[in-house]
């Protein structure tokens, strides 16, 4: 019988033997079994997800935008972003040569929107990663430690939850200055609390399960329990939450950019809209300058939200049965 | 007795949260890169000489120990003294500026919150009750798109379409400056200016209320007391309004309070788009000009507003749902 190793790594070789029926050739170390189980879970998840129309539609949109962002240098030249090289007509509406029109410097709005996708998606993803790191750490520590640590961390979380996010973001960004890094930090600082709460709730439930108690009885350390038992079981919740956080992070970036807190040196969908608004595109009726970046934001946020809904539906049987 | 303990506990939490916010606000503008004098100097450009800066540091009491500064700050704040604006309205006290700009924002935020809640809830009830119907599917799509939209972008589109292209509404401001309306004409003029910002904020938050009401109604419809109500032979309308909706409305109360912070955020951007002279536009002006005392006051004021909104929601929830008090 395979025993649960008290040391996380495979320092001692587990008992190796072939499957009795000879159908799988994988050594039955605890680790191999675990990975097999996880692979099966992912395959199973995918087969349910594939049947979810909303989730698949969202996924398709995301793949398209991901491809556009990655292939931006192939699709269009970054020279199109340089105001000194711009040679198009000024503030012209959509035409064959400029399908989405031009801005007040004669740059193609299409080129800017394509390149803007890189910064918007990158800031959104980076802010999400940071949000997840802060939120998941706080949630796991609070839920796992319990007692006064939990009480203190949850008080702080509640406090961040109550503060109006944009007011906090404005105050932070105006003091710290303007750069992509600071935008990422500001978004993460204002959006981790909900993640922390979700993760904590899940940790509280996982902590009570028999296999954790068993591992503890076998002398597993806190670190081992958290990384090998708690984290893998909390991971699906973290992942589902991540998708929704990306949507919020992208929206936050555009709003901060619109208020002039973005990085003026990088073109994102938010900064294109800010340039357009500042240049008076609204009163000039230059709708093409404002529509394309905005539609891209809506599509990407919508796609992430749809994927998140699909995840929620699969992970939360209560909703599925309804 | 239990109600009183619950009340005291909630109020205690609010006091603690307020203290945290004061501490945070204090530290943020003093400990982070550059003390207020440096920030003020940066904002004023190179006009401040070294001697001026030292004078400023003495005036603001920044040469005193941090703990002493903190108590002075708390005392001043409790007395309603939030300092003076430096750039946007130089020399005016922050409190008096706020009281001037408060009313338009209260009207805008109040009306749009009421409208988005009513319409969102009604749509949610209708969609949840006839689940899978054409109305359900189309309003679901509509709500998700609204949810995915930055509210200020929606505002810009509505502004271009209704005000610039069609010329139906004024493009911004609180009243027409060129005309001198009185009486009823003035009222109509005010409404005319309020319409588009209010529509924008209403639409921006409609989707969330719809989604929440729909899913909470679906939850409630699965409960056993609904089956019982039907088994008793009650008419369907009665089952819906008397039994299901009443209980499904509860989460909406919390969402209105939780959303309050987001509505204020929306007010900042939407008021900016429509040049609507409220606290939101004021915040934007303070931000662009780097008027730190004004920003600091704004942060305190918005936080206080959201905390009070949450307290009201907690108390209301306890009143509506006795289970919360007992827990």
CA distance B182 to B204: 33
pLDDT confidence bin for B115, thresholds 50/70/90:
very high
Residue B55 backbone class (left: φ over 0; alpha: ψ -120 to 50; beta: rest):
alpha
pLDDT tens digits along B46-63: 556 667 767 766 666 666
CA distance A237 to B97: 46
Instruction: Judge contact between B208 and B140, C-beta under 8 A.
Output: no
A-B Cβ pairs (cutoff 8 Å, strict): 133
Look up residue A265 and give its two tokens.
């040196």
pLDDT confidence bin for A1, thresholds 50/70/90:
very low
Segment A2-8 shows an average pLDDT of 38
- How many helices, marked H, and strands, marked E, lie in chain A? 14, 0
Cβ neighbours for B252, distance < 8 A, ≥ 6 positions apart: B117, B121, B209, B212, B213, B216
Q: How many angstroms separate the CA of residue B183 from the nearest CA in chain A?
A: 30
pLDDT confidence bin for A3, thresholds 50/70/90:
very low
pLDDT tens digits along B181-216: 777 777 777 787 888 899 999 998 898 889 888 888
pLDDT tens digits along A32-83: 888 888 888 888 888 888 888 888 888 999 999 888 888 877 777 766 666 6
Q: What is the residue whose two structure tokens read 């800010």?
A: A274
CA distance B243 to A261: 49
The minimal CB distance from A164 to the residues B165, B264, B296 is found for B264
* HEC profile of A180-228: HHHHHHHHHHHHHHHHHHHHHHHHHHHHCCHHHHHHHHCCCCHHHHHHH
The minimal CB distance from A277 to the residues B21, B156, B296 is found for B156
Question: B111 by DSSP, 3-state: which?
Answer: helix
Concatenated DSSP letters of B23-71 = HHHHHHTTTSSS-HHHHHHHHTGGG--HHHHHHHHHHTTTTS-HHHHHH
B216 touches chain A (CB under 8 A): no
Cβ neighbours for B18, distance < 8 A, ≥ 6 positions apart: B304, B307
Q: What is the mean pLDDT of chain A?
A: 79
B22 touches chain A (CB under 8 A): no
pTM for the complete prediction?
0.82
Q: How many angstroms separate the CA of residue A273 from the nearest CA in chain B?
A: 8
CA distance A292 to A250: 16
- CB contact burial B149-161 (16+ within 10 A = b; e otherwise): bbbbbbbbbbbbe
CA distance A311 to A109: 35
Helices (H), A53-176: 53-70, 72-75, 109-145, 147-162, 165-176
CA distance B169 to B184: 18
Question: B254 by DSSP, 3-state: which?
Answer: helix
Residues of A with CB below 8 A from B218's CB?
322
What is the distance of C-alpha B6 from the center of its chain?
A: 26
Alpha-carbon torsion (B9, B11, B14, B16), positive or negative: negative
Of B261, B258, B327, B268, the closest CA to residue B295 belongs to B268
B164 touches chain A (CB under 8 A): yes
Is pLDDT at B276 greater than 80 in this prediction? yes
The percentage of residues in chain B with a pLDDT greater than 90, rounded to a whole number, is: 6
Note the pLDDT of residue B39.
60
pLDDT tens digits along A216-225: 888 778 888 8
Interface of B with A in 36-95 (CB under 8 A): 39
Sequence length of chain A is 322
Look up residue A77 and give its two tokens.
């030249």
């Amino acid at each position: 019988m395979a025993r649960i190793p008290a040391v996380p790594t495979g320092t001692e070789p587990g008992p190796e033997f072939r499957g009795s029926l000879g159908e799988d050739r994988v050594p039955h170390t605890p680790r191999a079994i675990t990975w097999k189980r996880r692979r099966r879970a992912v395959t199973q998840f995918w087969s349910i997800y594939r049947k979810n129309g909303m989730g698949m539609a969202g996924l398709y949109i995301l793949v398209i935008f991901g491809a556009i962002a990655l292939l931006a240098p192939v699709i269009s030249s970054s020279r199109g972003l340089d105001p000194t090289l711009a040679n198009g007509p000024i503030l012209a509406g959509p035409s064959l040569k400029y399908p989405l029109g031009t801005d007040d410097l004669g740059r193609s709005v299409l080129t800017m929107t394509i390149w803007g996708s890189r910064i918007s998606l990158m800031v959104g993803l980076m802010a999400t990663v940071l949000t997840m790191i802060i939120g998941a750490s706080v949630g796991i520590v609070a839920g796992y430690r319990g007692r006064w640590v939990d009480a203190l961390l949850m008080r702080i979380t509640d406090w961040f939850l109550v503060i109006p996010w944009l007011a906090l973001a404005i105050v932070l960004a105006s003091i710290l200055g303007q750069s992509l890094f600071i935008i990422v930090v500001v978004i993460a600082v204002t959006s981790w609390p909900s993640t922390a709460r979700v993760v904590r709730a899940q940790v509280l439930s996982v902590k009570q399960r028999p296999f954790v108690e068993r591992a503890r009885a076998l002398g597993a350390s806190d670190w081992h329990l958290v990384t090998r038992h708690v984290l893998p079981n909390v991971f699906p919740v973290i992942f589902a939450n991540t998708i929704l956080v990306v949507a919020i992070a992208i929206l936050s970036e555009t709003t901060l950019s619109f208020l002039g807190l973005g990085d003026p040196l990088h073109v994102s969908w938010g900064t294109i809209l800010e340039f357009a608004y500042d240049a008076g595109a609204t009163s000039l009726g230059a709708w093409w300058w404002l529509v394309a970046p905005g539609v891209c934001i809506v599509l990407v946020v919508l796609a992430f939200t749809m994927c998140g809904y699909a995840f929620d539906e699969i992970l939360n049987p209560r909703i599925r049965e309804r | 007795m239990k109600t009183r303990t619950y009340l005291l506990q909630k109020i205690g939490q609010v006091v603690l949260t307020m203290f945290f916010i004061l501490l945070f606000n204090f530290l943020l503008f003093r400990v982070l890169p550059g003390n207020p004098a440096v920030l003020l100097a940066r904002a004023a450009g190179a006009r401040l000489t070294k001697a001026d800066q030292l004078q400023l540091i003495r005036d603001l009491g920044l040469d005193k120990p941090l703990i002493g500064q903190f108590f002075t700050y708390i005392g001043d704040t409790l007395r309603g003294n939030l300092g003076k604006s430096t750039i946007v309205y130089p020399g005016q006290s922050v409190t008096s500026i706020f009281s001037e700009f408060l009313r338009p924002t209260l009207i805008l935020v109040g009306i749009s919150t009421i409208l988005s809640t009513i319409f969102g809830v009604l749509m949610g009830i209708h969609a949840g009750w006839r689940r899978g119907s054409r109305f359900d599917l189309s309003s679901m799509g509509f709500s998700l798109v609204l949810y995915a939209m930055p509210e200020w972008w929606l505002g810009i589109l509505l502004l271009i379409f209704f005000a610039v292209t069609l010329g139906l509404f004024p493009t911004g401001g609180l009243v027409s400056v060129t005309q001198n309306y009185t009486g009823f004409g003035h009222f109509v003029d005010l409404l005319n200016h309020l319409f588009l910002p209010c529509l924008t904020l209403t639409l921006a938050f409609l989707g969330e209320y719809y989604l929440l009401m729909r899913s909470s109604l679906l939850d409630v419809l699965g409960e056993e007391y609904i089956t019982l109500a039907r088994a008793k032979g009650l008419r369907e309308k009665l089952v819906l309004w008397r039994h299901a909706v009443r209980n499904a409305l509860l989460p909406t109360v919390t969402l209105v309070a939780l959303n309050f912070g987001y509505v204020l955020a929306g007010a900042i951007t939407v008021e900016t788009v429509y040049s609507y002279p409220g606290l939101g536009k004021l915040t934007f002006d303070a931000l662009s000009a780097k008027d730190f005392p004004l920003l600091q006051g704004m942060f305190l004021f918005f936080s206080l507003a959201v905390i009070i909104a949450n307290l009201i929601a907690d108390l209301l929830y306890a009143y509506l749902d006795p289970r919360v008090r007992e827990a």
